[in-house]
A and B are shown apart, each in its own frame.
Chain A
Amino acid sequence: MVSKAMEDREILETISEIARRHLQWSGSLEPSQRLVEALALESIRLLTLVVELENHFKICLDEQDEAGLTTVGDLVAAIRSKLA
């Protein structure tokens, strides 16, 4: 069974990869970083990130999930809970 820590690392890597491919972003992501600032997200970039994450993980994030997203770690947790 995949541990929670391992799963979180893989999710974080996937977020980074999607940001590189679809947001022309480069750098490293840490769970403690503030999501909007770390990825320079305005509304269209945020939507692009969310849609591509939904496509990759075959999940649907709803408004309630998104309302609580402050840090990169929050996004990782939201995705993990949808995958559970």
Chain B
Amino acid sequence: VRPAPTIAGVGRAFPEHYYDQETLLTAFRELWARRHHNLDRLEALHRNVLVGGRHLALPLEQYAGLTTWGQANDAWIRVALDVGETAMREALGAAGLGVEDVDALIFVTVTGIATPSIDARLVNRMGLPRRIKRMPIFGLGCVAGAAGVARAADYVRAWPGEVAVLLSVELCSLTVQRQDLSIPNLIATGLFGDGAAAVVVVGAERPARGPRIVATRSVFYPDSEEVMGWEISEEGFRVVLSADVPNVVLEHARRDVDAFLAEHGLSRAEIEVWISHPGGPKVLGALEQALELPDGALEASWRTLREVGNLSSTSVLLVLKEALEERCPAPGAYGLMLAMGPGFCSELVLLRW
């Protein structure tokens, strides 16, 4: 058996501007009224996502001033650096490590672009080592939190004496197309929020406390490109969102999870800690149904959805942080981290405390 990497620490950071859903609804109603007649229906749509409030990269009143993609992306870079640094420092602190210990940095996002990428800018800003190996990954979307942990584990399996950090920054509010009043965009504007999270993954040769990453599994679903993604235009990112996401969960989750667990001599009943990307209420409901989960198994995912919305790749890492710091499973307990994203695809990460 190959020695397993350890999740040694998780950090998170949010922009300081927090708005409850009612405040956001009031702002959106004015915008919707330019084109839509039945505003109560749209308001109900926003309430149905069961989000209580969200952090936004900018004060609410500044969004109307973002008239080009370039302006929005400039704001994205500025705020991504702030929350990215805070999340990384918190994760390293939790792991008992310093910036000089970081050998590899994986940066994931789907909400903004930059070259040099955010990871490069953080090397300068934080004084990260010059030897650092950087892996900026754009486009995995919501799956990138779990997939990023899996890739960090792959890295330290190859270099068991090293430390890899995954940083996820998603500032979904800066992708909002104010002129796009389509239903998928209205759902997105009710559901997605802003934030960052970082995970420190250390190789088996380094002493560390935390759950071991026993195994990981990627699953790609052929010919499902239309389920979710971006359409890119001169105006930026326009959300593509079909109603098929819960159906994909219902169709695939159970088979994929069971097959993965069986390879390790496990069944669903032996998983004590479920660490799922929250998606939305329908996705979480579908997951509970498909995996026949006991009541409360996904409570941490429901809670993060209520408190800060769906933060794409960052969300599952918030659930992971809660598992590490508040649930404190007994030694030997198994956990399963799982997420889905554009492709369409899923990523499974088997943990053991």
Q: 1/0 contact trace for B40-54 toward A, CB 8 Å?
A: 111001000000000
Q: Say whether A60 contacts B35, CB under 8 Å.
A: no
B182 at the interface (CB under 8 A from A): yes
A45 to B183, CA, bound (A): 8
Q: Which 8 A-B residue pairs are closest in the complex by CB-CB distance?
A: A42-B243, A43-B243, A44-B243, A54-B38, A60-B38, A48-B183, A55-B37, A54-B37
B17 at the interface (CB under 8 A from A): no
13 of the cross-chain contacts (CB-CB < 8 Å) are A22-B182, A42-B242, A42-B243, A43-B243, A48-B182, A48-B183, A50-B41, A51-B41, A51-B42, A54-B36, A54-B37, A55-B35, A60-B40
Q: Which of under 10, 10 to 19, 20 to 34, or 35 or more describes the interface residues of A?
A: 10 to 19
Q: How far is the CB of B299 from chain A (nearest CB, A)?
A: 25
Q: Which residues of A contact B242 (CB under 8 A)?
A: 42, 44
Q: Which residues of A contact B184 (CB under 8 A)?
A: 44
Q: Which residues of B contact A58 (CB under 8 A)?
A: 37
Q: How far is the CB of B227 from chain A (nearest CB, A)?
A: 11
A58 to B38, CA, bound (A): 8
A38 at the interface (CB under 8 A from B): no
B187 at the interface (CB under 8 A from A): yes
Q: Which B residues from 25 to 40 make CB contacts under 8 A with A?
A: 35-38, 40
Please name 18 further chain A to chain B contacts, defined as beta carbons within 8 Å, in addition to the given A42-B244, A48-B183, sorted by A numbering: A42-B242, A42-B243, A43-B243, A44-B184, A44-B187, A44-B242, A45-B243, A51-B38, A51-B41, A51-B183, A54-B36, A54-B38, A54-B41, A55-B35, A55-B38, A60-B38, A60-B41, A61-B38
Q: Which residues of A contact B244 (CB under 8 A)?
A: 42
* Contact surface of B with A, Cβ cutoff 8 Å: 35-38, 40-42, 45, 182-184, 187, 241-244
Q: Which residues of A contact B241 (CB under 8 A)?
A: 44
Q: Which residues of A contact B40 (CB under 8 A)?
A: 60
Chain B residue at smallest Cβ distance from A49: B183
Q: Which residues of A contact B41 (CB under 8 A)?
A: 50-51, 54, 60
Q: Say whether A47 contacts B183, CB under 8 Å.
A: yes
Chain A residue at smallest Cβ distance from B40: A60
Chain B residue at smallest Cβ distance from A42: B243
Q: Which residues of B contact A54 (CB under 8 A)?
A: 36-38, 41
- Chain A CB within 10 Å, residue with most, of B40, B41, B241, B242: B41
Q: Which residues of B contact A55 (CB under 8 A)?
A: 35-38
Q: Say whether B36 contacts A51, CB under 8 Å.
A: yes
- Chain B CB within 10 Å, residue with most, of A48, A51, A60: A51
Q: How far is the CB of A56 from chain B (nearest CB, A)?
A: 8
Chain A residue at smallest Cβ distance from B45: A47
Chain A residue at smallest Cβ distance from B182: A48
Q: How far is the CB of A21 from chain B (nearest CB, A)?
A: 12
Q: How far is the CB of B182 from chain A (nearest CB, A)?
A: 7
Chain B residue at smallest Cβ distance from A46: B243
Chain B residue at smallest Cβ distance from A47: B183
Q: Which residues of B contact A42 (CB under 8 A)?
A: 242-244
A59 to B183, CA, bound (A): 18
Q: Which residues of B contact A22 (CB under 8 A)?
A: 182
- Chain A CB within 10 Å, residue with most, of B40, B42, B182: B182
Q: Which residues of B contact A51 (CB under 8 A)?
A: 36, 38, 41-42, 183
Q: Say whether B243 contacts A60, CB under 8 Å.
A: no
Q: How far is the CB of B248 from chain A (nearest CB, A)?
A: 12
Chain A residue at smallest Cβ distance from B246: A43
